[in-house]
Amino acid sequence: MKKRTQKKVTSVRLNDEEKQMVAEKAKAKGMSTSGYIRDKVLHDEKGLTPETMIQMQNLINEAFEAIKYADPDKGISMEMEVNKLWTSLK
């Protein structure tokens, strides 16, 4: 069973406009305000959020489907390179 760790509270000061903007962006992504801020802080250094990575993976999958029929060896080579990139992002 996974051990639960107690989360710590950190305060952020925002003016009314900033608070509203963060709340709207969080709602648009179906996230809580805290989750949205946490996601931005923890994942935005590389400009890659889990949502962006999913979109990239979907595009790559489509490209592989197209390539594997035209040039199967090239498709395998590309897949290996993409896997190396995903591993480096972990």
pLDDT in tens, 34-67: 998 988 888 766 666 777 778 888 888 888 888 8
Q: Is 6 left (phi over 0), alpha (psi -120 to 50) or beta?
A: beta
Rg (CA), the chain: 19
Read off the pTM. 0.48
Q: What is the mean pLDDT of residues 8-19?
A: 93
End-to-end, the C-alpha distance of the chain in Å comes to: 24
Residue type, 39: D
Domain boundaries, the chain: 15-46, 48-90
Question: Among candidates 9, 10, 45, 51, which has minimal Cα distance to 28?
Answer: 51
